[in-house]
Amino acid sequence: MSQTLAATRNPAAADMQSGAEVLLRALKDQGVEVIFGYPGGSVLPIYDAIFKQDTIRHILVRHEQAAVHAAEGYARSTGRTGVVLVTSGPGATNAVTGLLDALMDSIPLVCLTGQVPTHLIGNDAFQEADTTGITRPATKHNYLVKKSEDLARVVHEAFYVARSGRPGPVVIDLPKDILIAKAPYQGVPEAPHRSYRPVTHPDPAQIVRAVAAMKQAKRPVVYFGGGVINAGVAASDALTRLVRKTGFPCTGTLMGLGAYPSNDPQFLGMLGMHGTYEANLVMHGCDVMLNVGARFDDRVTGRINAFSPDSTKIHVDIDPSSINKNVRVDIPIIGDAGVVLEALLAAWDADPTPSESQAVAGWWRQIAEWRGVDCLKFTQTRDRGGIIKPQYAIQRLYELTRETGRETLISTEVGQHQMWAAQYFKFDKPNQWMTSGGLGTMGYGLPAAMGVQIAHPDALVIDIAGEASILMNIQEMATLAQYRLPVKVFILNNQYMGMVRQWQELLHGGRYSESYSEALPDFVRLAEAFHGVGMRAESVDQLDDVIREMIACPKAVIADICVDQKENVYPMIPSGAAHNEMILGAGHGRHAAEITDEGLVLV
């Protein structure tokens, strides 16, 4: 009634919509198809606008943290920007862990948070939180919309910021009065952003220098990371071509897995704390290192002053703050990984200098020797009733999913199972591996898998989980049921917070303080309670059947795989140690480097 009155009085307002409607229109113009969210008082106008349209789908999660992880899974598996909608106060604070997770792993997200009306901001109003204050260090950027005329512009800008340069999460805090008041619409701007314009095209002189160093390399390595995945599928393709053309060995970070085919002989496996023997020794001994889209994380470098001591380091990154942050490099190249890789390919061909192929062949002979150690070897008994080794469970999961020929996407929780998944599941394409690397958030995997399944309804989506982590967002089983998402939860149940137990065994004298998973639920019945299917494998002879049954099941499944409780993840570079001070597993006869107090303070 009052609306019609206003419209007749002010003709300009006639074609203005409510803030909530303008918001949805902007989301549509940004190509948004799905929002992961949870309602509350301050965002009711948005929910009302969602109700009145059917272009954008809303997925109702059961906890706001899960909404963010789901959007991360959606984003990482598609290369698009994930969208989250939560209410003010507790809705926003529940989302914070997910936002920081996305920031650390460079995942593009836009998170809409409700806020109390502008005139109440600062009054400790009901469900008020200083959301922009709280999320400032957990986001790439955030906005508080205080004027209706800014709304559409801010939404478009948020998408631009989230996906450009080094991607990350962006929060838009939306006071309720802004959602209700009429607001003008404004389309996607064509003009460049006022201040944020990341460099994507590299300095050609640096490309020439890099190729000159690569041509002279006798012991080269390509070390790639999540930035290649961020740069899109074409970047992974360019990486593969460059590695093949140069004949160099390559290794990837946890976040980079899939950017180069894992089954390829030039791939040495993951590097770092739980990387392979050959990858870490190659990093230690190389004379030229080409880092593409990896950030010299402490999980990768080990003791910084012992990290790859004799190499000329080339570092390709879109974020200048990644350069010389942890490790001093010789040839920085600022730019998008895809663009830079193409430039390196072209320059490699254009430079007439022959590469040191003889020397590189010698390097490969050395690598073959290291590979001969077979650092990922494990022994699995085949006896009836034999205990399942967690490594074997992952290996069989990989082989049996591959047999189906179906597109398979994997997410993980955090812990030993995550490392075994990284070591034993092989990825031949990018965007198939969703894991929480930088923040290491237990509870990431199930909601992430949910987001992945939304984006890939026909694919096989599996969350490789630990029995402790899975309980952190188990409520999302209800979301799976509601939307009939056939996500498979594959629990490596060792009845311990295994990663904690492993550190306590190796670093704290075997005092297993609070790391036993006491009073676990019956996961089979838990699955059933959530309208899914539960199954269990207690011994090795049951494993294949359970995996096959799980894959074939059209519903959500929890497969409880009872594995060896005492198994550790090897190889392991203890914190504070150098790459050549790695511990190999039992049967390899190599033992712990002395762990120093300096090492003990590290995580």
Ligand X SMILES: Cc1cc2nc3c(=O)[nH]c(=O)nc-3n(C[C@H](O)[C@H](O)[C@H](O)COP(=O)(O)OP(=O)(O)OC[C@H]3O[C@@H](n4cnc5c(N)ncnc54)[C@H](O)[C@@H]3O)c2cc1C
Ligand Y SMILES: Cc1ncc(C[n+]2csc(CCOP(=O)(O)OP(=O)(O)O)c2C)c(N)n1
Catalytic residues: 64, 126-127, 176, 499
CB 466 to ligand Y: min, Å: 2
Is position 564 an interface residue for ligand Y (rule: CB under 6 A)?
A: no
Decide if residue 297 touches ligand X (CB under 6 A): yes
- If one asks whether residue 322 binds ligand X (CB under 6 A), the answer comes out as yes
User: What binding mask, one character per residue, do residues 57-96 give for ligand X by CB under 6 A, x or -?
Assistant: ----------------------------------------
Contact between 107 and ligand X per CB under 6 A:
no
Of the residues 33, 330, 505, 538, which one makes contact with another protein according to CB under 8 A: 330
Between strands 408-412 and 460-466, the pairing is parallel
Residues 415-474 that bind ligand Y (CB under 6 A): 415-417, 440-442, 466-469
Residue 319 lies near ligand X (rule: CB under 6 A): yes
Q: How far apart are CA 62 and CA 528, in angstroms?
A: 18
Please tell me whether residue 324 binds another protein under the rule CB under 8 A.
Answer: yes
Binds another protein (CB under 8 A): choice among 17, 117, 118, 146: 146
Dihedral, CA of residue 171, residue 82, residue 435 and residue 65, to nearest 10: 50
Dihedral sign (CA 558, 559, 560, 566): negative
Distance CA 61, CA 482 (A): 10
Residue by residue, what is the 3-state secondary structure of 395-459? HHHHHHHHHHCCCEEEEECCCHHHHHHHHHCCCCCCCCEECCCCCCCCCCHHHHHHHHHHHCCCC
Q: What is the secondary structure of 251-302 as a DSSP string?
A: EE-GGGTTSS-TTSTTEEEE-STT--HHHHHHHHH-SEEEEES----HHHHS
Question: Of 80, 299, 313, 579, which one interacts with ligand X (CB under 6 A)?
Answer: 299
Longest dimension (CA), the chain: 86
The stretch among 179-187, 297-305, 307-315, 592-600 that binds ligand X (CB under 6 A) is 297-305
Asked whether position 496 contacts ligand Y by CB under 6 A, the answer is: yes
* Pairing status of strand 220-224 against strand 182-183: unpaired
Stretch that binds ligand Y, among 78-86, 316-324, 410-418, 451-459 (CB under 6 A): 410-418
Tokens read off for 142:
């955030």
Reading the block at residue 88, the tokens are 């003010």
Least separation in angstroms between residue 299's CB and Mg ion is 20
For another protein, the binding residues in 192-221 under the rule CB under 8 A are: 194-196
146 binds, among ligand Y, another protein, ligand X, none (CB under 5 to 8 A by kind): another protein
- The answer to the question of residue 394 lying near ligand Y (CB under 6 A) is no
CA pair distance 575, 602, nearest whole angstrom: 6
Q: Are 499 and 568 in contact (CB under 8 A)?
A: no
Rounded Cα gap, residues 331 and 238, in angstroms: 20
Q: For residue 438, give both structure tokens.
A: 């930088």
**Which of positions 77-116 make contact with ligand Y (CB under 6 A)?**
none
DSSP string, 71-86: HHHHHHHHSS-EEEEE
Establish if 579 lies at the interface with ligand X (CB under 6 A). Answer: no
The distance of closest approach from Cβ of residue 570 to another protein in the complex, given in angstroms and rounded to an integer, is 31
The residues that touch another protein, with contacts defined as CB under 8 A, are 132-133, 136-137, 140-142, 144, 146, 161, 165-166, 194-196, 309-313, 319-321, 323-325, 328-330
The residues that touch ligand Y, with contacts defined as CB under 6 A, are 413-417, 440-442, 466-469, 492, 494, 496-500
The residues that touch Mg ion, with contacts defined as CB under 5 A, are 466-467, 494, 498
